[in-house]
Amino acid sequence: MEFLKQLGIKEKNFGCSTGQNWLETTTEGELKIYSPTNGKYIGSVYQCSEADYEKVLDTAIEAFKYWRMVPAPNRGEVVRQIGLKLREYKRPLGTLVSYEMGKSLQEGMGEVQEMIDICDFAVGQSRQLYGHMMVSERPMHRMYDQYHPLGVVATISAFNFPVAVWSWNAMLAAICGDTNLWKPSSKVPLSAIATQNIIAEVVKENNLPEGLFTLVIGRGATIGEKILNDKRIPLISVTGSTRVGRHAGEVVQRRFGRTILELGGNNAIIMTPEADLKMAMPAVVFGAVGTAGQRCTSTRRLIVHDSIYAKVKESLLKAYGGLKIGDPLDENNHVGPLIDKNAVGDFTKALERLKVEGGTVIYGGEVLSGEGYESGCYVRPAIAEADNKYEIVQEETFAPILYLLKYSGNVSNAIAIQNGVEQGLSSSIFTNNMREVEEYLSAVGSDCGIANVNIGTSGAEIGGAFGGEKETGGGRESGSESWKLYMRLQTNTINWGTQLPLAQGIKFDI
Ligand code: NAD
């Protein structure tokens, strides 16, 4: 396939890079990657050994000693060039993301566009690493705070965003003066290798040292654990399930490391009697079935006022009836495959559990077979009538299941249902009632990191800080002030006088 060639992906690939060089270990097992779109074999990756990990980390630590002293705007210049290079490779890399992960070509290209956008954002940020100037209570004293680079930043990423989430972390870390270690999901390692090849070109063209951007592909239980426990890594950004993130948080906190935890969501849309249904329906359907329900921000619960419930249900059934399911590289299709057969198993098990708890599947739920569905990863998205209290509704099933929930009375009741889960990532309300909007966005409103009005739960822009509360982990990455997490804050007090007055007026004469 031409796009694989363009990206330097071979039949057999190494999984461990110090930046310019691939370490050639072949003893740690070979990941064989098949496309969920058609079940065809794409290529393999040799996993990295613990000794390789040590070599890579040493290189990243050495590179940090150099990189932290490069002026931030010059670091930004390198990131600007990475953005240009990504523009050149947008089509092949977007195609690989789509082919390896199974998301639509539009979304694969969109993911690369997010990488480009965060590069542009980071370039601007590289000239704005501002601290504060504080007024000292002591005469002839000056106080200010400044941000210093942290060290090696590790990004552990999830399968559903094979490349974009890494770039949200790595591009900011790079302008902040940190070096990067990336452990991608072993389900989508080829997209990471392709990205590594692209970045390596820029590093080489600028004669920069190895170790600025490094990659280790290996098992969570071995390489992942080494990263979590490694005191030489001050910050670890983990995107993944709440189960993995909870463990990572505990391990890293024990050694007083820092984490950014971007974990599972259980996102809801509220539809009040004053919702504009023409706008709301496409937002709900895209949110629930886009990326086959495998976005952390996918719409999983629809909370509808009882006065419009029947109408909403009817138009949902109609919209789902028109969905085209098939190869995500064909732009006519709306829904692609799940990542693998295990995910298909989770989907069907969730629907069985729902029925046991008293829920009703009113649409879809089948596993598709036959022509075009040979990979065994395609399902018909499901709609189910349910209760927020069901255990299965309280969980995140990473698949296209939309739970229909009913509320009555005022919007406070809908907000209580929305907030009545352990996760707190994304949320939205559809209404044209200003009072409902303001209540929803107020301190008594949505408890999520993302709260939208008259748009759906998925599809964030890089300019905003991205992340969620409660069991979503509390992390923030990408835009707004997230850059501060990649630096250490230092407060400086300078006495330019000839006396030594103490703070709080304390006297100490000797
Ligand atoms: P996962 O938790 O199975 O894996 C995530 C990453 O953690 C992978 O790279 C995996 O190899 C690694 N890992 C596993 N065990 C580890 C260990 N012991 N030590 C270190 N690393 C380890 O998640 P997934 O199935 O790849 O992704 C889906 C999940 O990610 C969903 O829950 C989704 O909501 C979440 N997600 C969250 C966000 C967000 O920003 N909040 C974004 C994307 C995905």
463 contacts: CB under 8 Å, gap ≥ 6:
121, 478, 479, 480
The gap from C-alpha 256 to its chain's centroid, in whole angstroms, comes to 23
- List Cβ neighbours of 289 (8 Å cut-off, separation of 6 or more): 320, 323, 334, 335, 381, 400
Ligand 1, residue 425: give the atom nearest the CA.
41
Q: Which domains does the chain have, with CATH numbers?
A: 2-263+473-490 (3.40.605.10), 267-466 (3.40.309.10)
Q: Could you tell me if the CB of 477 is within 6 A of ligand 1?
A: no
Q: How far is the first Cα of the chain from the last one, in angstroms, to the nearest whole number?
A: 80
Q: DSSP H helical segments within 206-336, as ranges? A: 225-229, 242-254, 277-289, 309-321
Cβ atoms of residues 347 and 399 within 8 Å: yes
User: Ligand 1 centre from 480 Cα, in Å?
Assistant: 24
User: 266-297: per-residue pLDDT in tens?
Assistant: 999 999 999 999 999 999 999 999 999 999 99
Distance CA 426, CA 469 (A): 9
Check if 287 has its Cβ closer than 6 Å to any atom of ligand 1. no
Give residue 26's pLDDT: 97
Query: What's the gap between Cα 426 and its chain centre?
Result: 12
Q: What is the mean pLDDT of the chain?
A: 97
Could you read off the pLDDT of 378-424 as tens digits, one per residue? 999 999 999 999 999 999 999 999 999 999 999 999 999 999 999 99
Q: How far is the CA of 265 from the centre of ligand 1 (A)?
A: 12
Nearest to 379, CA basis, from 354, 356, 402, 404: 402
CB 209 within 8 A of CB 66: yes
Most ligand 1 atoms within 8 A of CB, residue of 263, 346, 448, 485 to mutate:
263
Instruction: Give the closest residue to 336 by CA, choosing from 106, 92, 115.
Output: 106
Tell me how far the alpha carbon of residue 343 lies from the centroid of ligand 1, in angstroms. Answer: 14
Q: Tell me how far apart the alpha carbons of residues 429 and 110 are, in angstroms, rounded to a whole number.
A: 25
What residues are paired with 402 via a beta bridge? 383
- pLDDT surpassing 90 at residue 459: no
Q: How far is residue 338's CA from residue 328's CA, in Å, rounded to a whole number? A: 11
156: Cβ below 6 Å to ligand 1? yes
Model pLDDT for residues 116-144, shown as the tens digit of each residue: 999 999 999 999 999 999 999 999 999 99
Residues taking part in catalysis: 262, 296
What one-letter code names the amino acid at 160?
A: N
Q: Which residue CA neighbors atom 32 of ligand 1 most closely? A: 241
Mean pLDDT calculated for residue range 16-23: 96
Please, which residues bridge with residue 456 across strands? none
The burial of 357, by beta-carbon neighbours within 10 Å (0-12 exposed, 13-18 middle, 19 or more buried), is given as middle
d(CA 289, ligand 1 centre) in Å: 20
Q: What 3-state DSSP class applies to 9?
A: coil
Please write down the HEC assignment for all residues of 70-102.
CCHHHHHHHHHHHHHHHHHCHHHHHHHHHHHHC
Quickly tell me which residue has 């419009």 as its tokens: 308
Q: What is the pTM of this model?
A: 0.97
Ligand 1: atom nearest CA of 159 is: 26
How far apart are the C-alpha atoms of 222 and 444, rounded to whole Å?
43
398 lines ligand 1 (CB under 6 A): yes
- Ligand 1 centroid to 294 CA: how many Å? 12
Task: Say if ligand 1 is within 6 A of residue 146 CB.
Answer: no
